[in-house]
Amino acid sequence: MTADRPVGWRAVAILAAAIVVTVLGAAVVTSFLPDGLQAIVFHSPLLIIVLVTGTALVLWRVSLGGRPPVG
């Protein structure tokens, strides 16, 4: 699937705002966790695992591009 027109500043700004809201929401949700769970989130490799996994999924999705599914 390809875009009929190039991506504009408005789409980029909306995506950036959505990312900021998501990160702030995660920070708020984390602040409500008990101290023990906060320690796991902040003092273990959990965040790194989540970021690496998310990045891998995004790159995999982008690499598929506009190719039709096989099968």
Residue 58: inside a domain: yes
Q: How far apart are the first and last CA of the chain?
A: 17
Domains of the chain: total: 1
Residue 3: inside a domain: no
Residue 24: inside a domain: yes
Residue 53: inside a domain: yes
Q: Are 62 and 54 in contact (CB under 8 A)?
A: no
What are the distances in angstroms from CA 15 to CA 33, 35, 68, 69?
Answer: 27, 32, 25, 26
Residue 4: inside a domain: no
Q: Please give the pLDDT value at position 71.
A: 60
Residue 22: inside a domain: yes
Q: How does pLDDT run across 11-64, given as a tens digit for each residue?
A: 889 989 998 999 899 889 999 999 999 988 889 998 889 889 988 998 888 887
65: left (phi over 0), alpha (psi -120 to 50) or beta: left
Structural domain for 37, as ranges: 9-64
